[in-house]
Amino acid sequence: MAIDDEIDAARVQIEYGKASVAPKVVTTILKGLAAVGVTPAKPAAFLMKKVFEQREDNTLYLLEATISKLRRLEEQFRTFSASHKQFVEEQLPRLLVEAVSKAERTGSKERIERLSLIIVHTVVEGPSADLETVDEMMRVTVGISDVDISVLAQIYSVQGQELARTGFLPEMNLANRTWKDLQTAFPIFRSSEIHSICAKLQSLGLVTQVPRIATTLDLTSIPYAVLRKGAEYLELLGKSYTATIIG
C-alpha cells in the first residue's frame, strides 16, 4: 500500500494553508498590541518569521512521529481490504492536515506525539472509525497534559471494568469506594492539585463529579467517575502510551 502517496498529499495541503494563515496570526498579534498602546520592538516581518518557524517545527515533528509509526505497520497495511485502503487514501491526508492545525496551538512535543497516535489508531481502525469523535479527541489532546492523562488513566484503571458493564453511567458507591482506593495508592489524589485537574477533565467531558458519601470520604474529597468519552480517549492513545506516563 503506497502510504507515502497519502502523506505527500497531506504535505501539499499543509503547505497550501501556511501562506494564508500565518499573516492572519501576525496581524492579530499586531492589532492586539496596538489596542493596548504597545508598539512592537520588532517589525512584522520578524513576527512572521517566528510564526513560520513554530509552524515548521510542529509540522515536521508531527509528520516524522506519524510516519515512523506507519512504517512499522507496513506489513499490516498490505492485508487491508479494498474499502480500508480507500479509507486511508481519502482520510489520512485530511487527518494529518487537521492534526497540523491543532499542533500549531501548542509547543508541547508530548501533545503533538499524542496527535500522531490518534492518527495512526484511526488509520488502523479504518472505515469503522467515527471521524467526528476522532476530530473531537484531537481537540481534547492539545488541551491536557500528561499529568492530566495519568490521572484519567488511574481513575479508569479502578472504575473502567465496572462502568463498561453499566454503559458508563456514573455510580455513586463505585466512585466513592474507588476514590478512597486512589487516595491510598497515589499521593496526587490527596493533594489540592487533583481538584483543578479533574475540573479540567470534566470540562472536556472525560469525567464527571459525583456526590460524596460522608462515611467513605472526608470533607476535602470530591470523587469523580470516568465517562465513555474518557474511556474512548484512552483507547485512542493506546495502552502502551498511558502505561508509560503512569509508570
pLDDT digits (tens, 9 = 90+) for 55-104: 677 888 888 888 888 888 888 888 889 999 889 888 888 888 888 888 87
Q: What is the mean pLDDT of residues 141-146?
A: 92
Number of domains in the chain: 2
- The predicted structure's pLDDT at residue 170: 93
> What is the pTM for the complete model shown?
0.75
How far is Cα 65 from Cα 103, in angstroms, rounded to an integer?
A: 12
| Domain endpoint, select from 139, 173, 200 | 139
Are residues 190 and 122 part of one domain?
no
Are residues 178 and 132 part of one domain?
no
Are residues 82 and 63 part of one domain?
yes
Are residues 15 and 120 part of one domain?
yes
How far is the CA of 219 from the CAs of 200, 212, 223, in angstroms? 21, 8, 11
- The predicted structure's pLDDT at residue 47: 45
How far is Cα 180 from Cα 221, in angstroms, rounded to an integer?
A: 9
Examine the pLDDT at 9 and tell me if it is beyond 90.
no
Coil, helix or strand for 209? Answer: strand
Are residues 121 and 13 part of one domain?
yes
Q: Which of the 8 DSSP states describes residue 191?
A: S
Examine the pLDDT at 222 and tell me if it is beyond 70.
yes
Are residues 124 and 13 part of one domain?
yes
Are residues 184 and 165 part of one domain?
yes
Q: What is the mean pLDDT of residues 34-61?
A: 57
- The predicted structure's pLDDT at residue 50: 47
- The predicted structure's pLDDT at residue 26: 41
Return the C-alpha cell found at 180.
Answer: 478512597
Are residues 224 and 150 part of one domain?
yes
Are residues 241 and 132 part of one domain?
no
Are residues 112 and 23 part of one domain?
yes
| Domain endpoint, select from 116, 139, 162 | 139
Q: What residue numbers bound the domain in which 50 lies?
A: 3-139
Are residues 160 and 223 part of one domain?
yes
Whole-number average pLDDT of the chain: 81
- The predicted structure's pLDDT at residue 185: 95
| Domain endpoint, select from 115, 139, 163 | 139
> By mean pLDDT, which of 36-40, 91-95, 187-191, 218-222 is the weakest?
36-40
Are residues 165 and 122 part of one domain?
no
Handedness of CA 241, 226, 213, 191 (dihedral sign): positive
The model's confidence at residue 131, banded by pLDDT at 50, 70 and 90, is very high
Q: Are 111 and 141 in contact (CB under 8 A)?
A: yes
